[in-house]
Amino acid sequence: MLATSLVGCDERRVQQPAAQAELEVNDENCKSESVARIDDKQKQQAFADRCFRRGEFKPSTKKEW
């Protein structure tokens, strides 16, 4: 019973999210040098995808031909 109550008390689980905090998508963080610093290749690819897709919708002007 004691073993099952101590299963969730691992200190590494508490520190892990702080070490792998999500980067904000902005001009500085989306530079190739900043993206290359991410060690986890899967997270690096996901962040690069978010950088590539950032921006906003700008409707085109109406043309009266």
Within a 10 A sphere around the Cβ of 47, how many other Cβ atoms? Answer: 19
Distance CA 49, CA 56 (A): 15
Question: What is the pLDDT, as a whole number, of residue 59?
Answer: 87
Tell me if residue 24 falls in helix, strand or coil.
coil
Question: What is the pLDDT, as a whole number, of residue 65?
Answer: 84
Question: What is the pLDDT, as a whole number, of residue 56?
Answer: 80
Distance CA 43, CA 23 (A): 10
Question: What is the pLDDT, as a whole number, of residue 40?
Answer: 94
| Per-residue pLDDT tens digits for 7-64 | 666 555 544 444 446 789 999 999 999 999 999 999 999 999 999 998 888 888 998 8
Question: What is the pLDDT, as a whole number, of residue 57?
Answer: 80
